Amino acid sequence: MEPVIRNFRTFEPGQPARLISLDDNPPTCTMSYSVIEPGKTSSHHIHKWEHEVYIMEGVGTLHCDGKEYPVKAGDAMYIPGNVDHYTLNDGGKGNIRRVEINPLIAAQSGGAGNNGGAGTGEAPVIRNFADLNAQTGSRILGLNDGVPTYVMLYNGAMAPGAVSHPETGGHTHAWEHVVYVLEGTGVLACGGIDYAVTEGDAILVPPDTLHQWRNESNAPVLRVTFNPVASDAAEH
């Protein structure tokens, strides 16, 4: 199977960028890219599914059930289901740029059609990549945070010349990856074919497909990766 590779720049500016959609047959989640301009907010709503969000740029405030949480570039956010929420760009640092991951039910149901309401009061989890440590490892959002569908990994800088799984030429597993390239340009070898990937690309790596990452450039490559929670219990 071929990967799906789609850059947010292929969409009209200001329009919703469905980077990984139901049409791509993702097994676990979809991905969208959005911009929140200064003084504006994301959609204000409440629904039964969760969001996971990674902020690439900007500063603002996440509002969840009437409480305020500061957020900034490099933050991963887990917003539980059944929580009234929106993000306000009030940080004075230009646009907020972010990617958002949703379980398939969000798109299958047509999305949230409300304007907020009474939530459970469950607090979000917000963790910056700079706060990762030996205990968290690369899991910027993991099972210990209560995520029900997928974990978020922050893949630290892949140095120039680096290759993943060099001894085996890559690896294969039963789950997919949904990846967003934060910085740099690299190569994804997938199913015996090389694909160029670059900053702003969303990538769906199919399950049960041999794949490997290579950095053949002169600058680091950074990624965030979303895996189904079953991957944390498997050998890989």
Per-residue pLDDT tens digits for 139-182: 999 999 999 999 999 998 999 999 999 999 899 999 999 999 99
Query: CB-hemisphere CA count at 13 Å for 225?
Result: 19
- What CA–CA distance (Å, rounded) separates 122 from 150? 18
Q: Burial, 158: exposed, middle or buried (Cβ in 10 Å; 0-12, 13-18, 19+)?
A: buried
User: From CA 76, how far away is CA 139, in angstroms rounded?
Assistant: 10
Instruction: Name residue, tokens 């991905």.
Output: 31
The helix (H) or strand (E) run that includes residue 201 is strand 201-205
Neighbouring residues of 19: CB distance < 8 A, sequence distance ≥ 6: 6, 8, 31, 32, 33, 99, 180, 202
Q: What is the pLDDT of residues 49-105, one digit of tens each?
A: 999 999 999 999 999 999 999 999 999 999 999 999 999 999 999 999 999 999 999
Label residues 71-107 b or e (16+ Cβ within 10 Å = b): bebbbbbbbbbbbbbbbbbbbeeebbbbbbbbbeebb
Closest to 232 (Cα-Cα) out of 28, 15, 19, 82: 28
Give 30's strand partners.
102
Structure confidence by residue, pLDDT tens digits, 107-127:
998 777 777 788 999 999 999
| CATH classification for the domain delimited by 4-129, as one of 2.60.120.10, 3.40.50.150, 2.60.40.3950, 3.40.50.1100 | 2.60.120.10
Give dist(CA 226, CA 150) in Å, integer.
6
Is CATH 3.90.650.10 the right assignment for the domain spanning 139-230? no
Q: How far apart are CA 30 and CA 211, in angstroms?
A: 20
Where, residue-wise, is CATH 2.60.120.10 in the chain? 4-129, 139-230
- Spatial distance between the Cα atoms of 75 and 95, rounded to a whole number of angstroms: 15
| Count of Cβ atoms closer than 10 Å to residue 145 Cβ | 19
Chain segment 183-236, per-residue pLDDT in tens: 999 999 999 999 999 999 999 999 999 999 999 999 999 999 999 999 987 644
